[in-house]
Structures are given as structure tokens and as C-alpha cells.
Structure 1
């Protein structure tokens, strides 16, 4: 084990940006104690914004660091008619409207059951608020979704699928076409003659 750690330490010197230092771990932990709201969503709600005491450096998945300097204080988060207060930092969140911090979830008695996809919140009067997630299954993509996936660099394959076990129907079995059998010969004599247009 000591040999592995020594080799890791040696190699990590070549790519320090990929190695978690204690400072990076502390920064990530600090950000886990913040709640975020999508900028687009907060703009629609016309929330009052105030400057943060100090600028936060938020590292996103592609390792880009984005400075954040605003917060919406004491926002009302209503769940099943019950109001909760939360401070929300406007940020670009992609498909999410909000990301709620772990400390807020913990202090409000939230229990998350990942296996059953349930979130329970016990409120002061002893009642329980419960949300159940649903698994989305997409059998087909729209052209718009496909276009966006291709723009992002996803691979695509075009397939033409035929059921080879299915028999080709006779002309007599095709409605309307069966009334004009003489128009559809069994064998094509060749290409049509050239015509002037």
C-alpha cells in the first residue's frame, strides 16, 4: 500500500489539476452546504437578489471554475402547502430548477430512500410530506432531441430494419392497388424512355 501511495504521489505531480488537494476537498464540501437555483427559473420568479459577503468559486463537471457573487435570501419553498425558508444562489443548472444543500435537508428532517425513489419530509405538526420519483423510459427520440444529441458529439447509427420472415403481399391483397393490376406488371421491362421536359 505504501508503495502504491508513493507512486501515486510521484505521478500526481505531473497532473496536479486532476488530484484533489485538501483545499479542493474543502471547497467542494463548502459548496455542498449551499443551495442553488437555476438563473432562468429565478428570473421568472422575480426574486430579490443581494450580493454575497464573499465570492464563491464553483467548480462544475468539466473542471471550469465559475465565480458566484449573489444570493436570494429567505426564499419561500412551498411543498404540499407547507412553507420552508431557504437561501438560494442563482447559477446555471442545466435541466434542474433547484439543488438543495445537504444541511438544509438534514435540518428539515428529510429522508431520502434511493432504492424506492422516495423523499420524506417530516413537518412540525407530525405530518409527513412524501415525493415519489418516476423512472422515465424513452422508446423513441424526437427529431429535436436527436439533433441536440448529435450537436453534443454523440454517435448515431441509422438502421433500416426489415422483417425478412414477413411475406411480400400479392397485388390482389392490397386494397385499391388490386383494382389496377394491369398498371403494375409483375416484371419491370426496364427504365422508362427518355422524355423531354
Structure 2
């Protein structure tokens, strides 16, 4: 999916965040188990990656099935003024630099507010969740 299509879609939660001090378009995706970084962006910044030790096959809307075996470990990312370390799997993404998936969302207790199209940090917001 291109960034133009992504920003037009009302079903996606997108925001600009800071990655190594650079503004990058981030997709917050509760449907993704893992978090990803664009191979193009990895090469652009000259980041060194680590081997995953296996081949990971991922389906993407833009490219269909793609495989990867590399990740950038310990990436410094700033979201809404908060700094995080995140491991990002390298993928040939089109139009997006980063996808933050359930691995990042759950460990950081982040909720996606679909109505307002934003992310909410529960501990900072004091939001109380009710479940039955």
C-alpha cells in the first residue's frame, strides 16, 4: 500500500514519529504480530541489521508474500514525545517507513482509539478499561 492510499484510508491509524531524529510515517497495526521497518530506510540510514536465524514470510497488501531474515535491534523511536527501544523486522515496505504491531503495542500498554484515530498510552492517560 502506498502512503497516498494509506493516508486516504479511514481504517488506518497513522502518525509521524521520530526515528533517529528523522520524521517517519508510522502505521499502528493491531493486525500485525510484529513490528517492521522499511528496507529502503535501513539502507538510506546505513543501519546494520542482525540475522533472525530463520526465514520469516510475511504477507503485505502492496507486495503479497515477502520473505526476510533480518531485523534492526534496539531501534530508538519517539512516539508522542515518549522514547522507546523497539526491534524492527526489515521488509520491503512501500510508502511507510515503520509499522508498529502487537509486539510493541502490547508491551507498551498502548490502545488504538479508532474513533479518534490515535494511540492512547494507558498509564499516562489514566484510562480505565471495563471488560465483562
Scaled by the length of structure 1, the TM-score of the pair is 0.43
Following the alignment from structure 1 to structure 2, what is the Cα–Cα distance between the partners of residues 63 and 97?
Answer: 15
C-alpha spacing 1:118/1:60, structure 2 compared with 1 (3 Å): closer
Q: Considering fraction of residues, name the structure with more helix.
A: 1
Would you say how many aligned residue pairs link Structure 1 and Structure 2?
95
The answer to which structure has the higher strand fraction is: 2
The structure that has the greater radius of gyration is 1
Matched, 1:68 2:98: no
The within-5 A match list for 1:1-197 is 32-61=32-61, 64-122=64-122, 127-128=124-125
Cα drift, residue 118 of structure 1? 2.0
Q: Give the CA deviation at 1:102.
A: 1.0
Where relative contact order (Cα < 8 A, 6+ residues apart) is larger, the structure is 2
Confirm or deny: 8 A CA contact 2:73 2:86 kept in the other structure. Answer: yes
CA distance, structure 2, for counterparts of residue 115 and residue 109 of structure 1: 18
Q: If the length of structure 2 is used for normalisation, what is the TM-score?
A: 0.61
List alignment gaps of at least 5 residues for structure 1. 1-30, 129-197
* 1:111 alignment partner, SS class: strand
Unaligned regions of 5+ residues in structure 2, if any?
A: 1-30, 126-132
